[in-house]
Amino acid sequence: MKAIVLIENGFQDTELTYPYYRLKEAGYEVKLVGPRKGETYYGGYGLELEADLAADDPDVSDYDVVVIPGGSAPDRMRQNKKMVKLVKKAVEKGLVVSAICHGPQLLIEADVGEG
């Protein structure tokens, strides 16, 4: 079982870390995926985390879950075509996609909110 948690500057700290650690506790291999691999991203309350992968690295067919945390990060994510494409592919492949708080902005940008 594998999961992606999206990351970008301005993520809401607990909306990223809580699902991240709960998924790990449930046995998932979890990767932080941001615009650039290896870059450090900053949460709204000062948490610093590094992206394991860039948005165009993962093959979504290899994953089961995508989590989009809230905060101001989704507004930045929706302006990044690679992040939008990743979410669109995840929905099209039938992955479980969770969007917390402001996360649905990315779903709207990916045009996957129908119904």
Give the span between the Cα atoms of 46 and 42, in whole angstroms. 6
Give the span between the Cα atoms of 16 and 47, in whole angstroms. 10
**Closest alpha carbon to 7 in 65, 63, 66, 68:** 68
The 10s digit of each residue's pLDDT in 30-61 is 999 999 999 999 999 999 999 999 999 999 99
Burial 27-43 (b: 16+ CB within 10 A, else e): ebebbbbbbeeeeebbb
Out of 47, 53, 54, 101, the active site residue is 101
Q: Residue 40 gets which letter from DSSP?
A: E
The pLDDT tens digits along the chain (115 residues) read 999 999 999 999 999 999 999 999 999 999 999 999 999 999 999 999 999 999 999 999 999 999 999 999 999 999 999 999 999 999 999 999 999 999 999 999 999 977 6
Instruction: Compute and round to an integer the Cα radius of gyration of the chain.
Output: 12
Domain boundaries, the chain: 2-109
96 is catalytic: no
Out of 5, 102, 106, 109, the active site residue is 102
* Domain 2-109 indexed as CATH 3.30.300.20: no
32 is catalytic: no
